[in-house]
Amino acid sequence: MLDPIEELHFHDRNARLEKRPVGVCALITPFNFPLNLVAHKVAPALATGCPFILKPAEKTPLTALALCELLEQCEPPLPPDSFAVCVALPKDYGPLSLDSSVRHLSFTGSPTVGWQLKSLAQRAHVTLELGGNAASIVCDDWPLEHALKSCCTAAFAYSGQVCISLQRLFLPSDSFQTGIHQLAQLAQQLKRGPLNEAQTDIGPMIDLAAAKRVEQWVNEALADGATLHCGGSRNGTFFEPTVLSGVSHNTKIWQEEVFGPVVCVEAWSDFSEALAAVNDSRWGLQTSVYTHDRSLMEQAWQELEVGQVIIGDATTFRVDEMPYGGVKDSGVGREGLRWAINAMTEPRLLVLPPSNAAERS
């Protein structure tokens, strides 16, 4: 629920500040977490009392529809016309930005669509989460085997179809060869299968077009001199977990968000240069650093151009309470319950007269 009224004081005047619902919210979600990412937007809207229009991904709409069926059964019931679900193709997003009655737009998805919607939504608060090409830096004071297991999960879980999936991995130069060999072994041991089976480690991608795109990007990197340590092949919608090194920084697989089961590995010997290499990207969502050194933690936090720096864990670490979002092309604003609620409210201030106002007149 909204925070209570805040009592303020300005010079000789008392005031009260209240957060009020901003109004109609347009909530647009992607395919990869069709319940969790919907809940990230719907729950704050319910908490603030904002009516909302939910537009789930056209590839995975059923979970959102089922959730809203449950909302229709709430006791006591929600107010009439408090929410609606719109299943539509991306080309039909326009009214959610252009309609002046929409006061807040929250979008998670591709940067091309996200920035276009923001340019159209000139009268609305806007929160964009547009992905990235997440990086991890492993320092030589952290156990290599532990870091590699964590990084393997971060790179290949959900076939890499996570906006904070590990895409660029920086290993210490002294342990680079050992590390990349062990990572490739771990990747090859992942069990392939349907995702509704508990023993499955990696499953298919969302559709054939996505798998073919990843295949094309990997082939482009190999043609440009990259070394393939494992994977690299596609079978229908399944793309093998792939480990590359020597990847040109001019290739799509390095520069863009691959959104597939591919990790590019590079050696580092100077920590400041490793941080600069991470920052050499138009993305800035989340980075992890494996170190016990407090000074390196602080340096990473101060210098990395990302929304979140995770220490000693995977780039994919996220809990619902944390302020989550990116900088640069990764988006604007923050999600997480408290921050999303703030984005869906507007402050209204009441300034009271001085206690001796009547005497002054």
Show which residues are catalytic: 129, 163
Q: What DSSP assignment string belongs to 219-251? A: HHHHHTT-EEEE---EETTEE--EEEES--TTS
Residue among 25, 28, 27, 20 nearest 1 (CA): 20
* Contact between residue 38 and residue 70 where contact means Cβ atoms under 8 Å apart: no
Q: What is the DSSP string of 11-79?
A: TTEEEEEEEEE--EEEEE--SSSTTHHHHHHHHHHHHHT--EEEE--TTS-HHHHHHHHHHTT-SSPPP
H or E stretch including 276?
Answer: helix 271-279
* Alpha helix (H) residue ranges in 121-164: 144-156
DSSP state of 333: S
How large is the angle between the packed helices 294-303 and 271-279, nearest 10 degrees? 30
In angstroms, the CA 340 to CA 345 distance is: 9
Residue with tokens 């937007």: 41
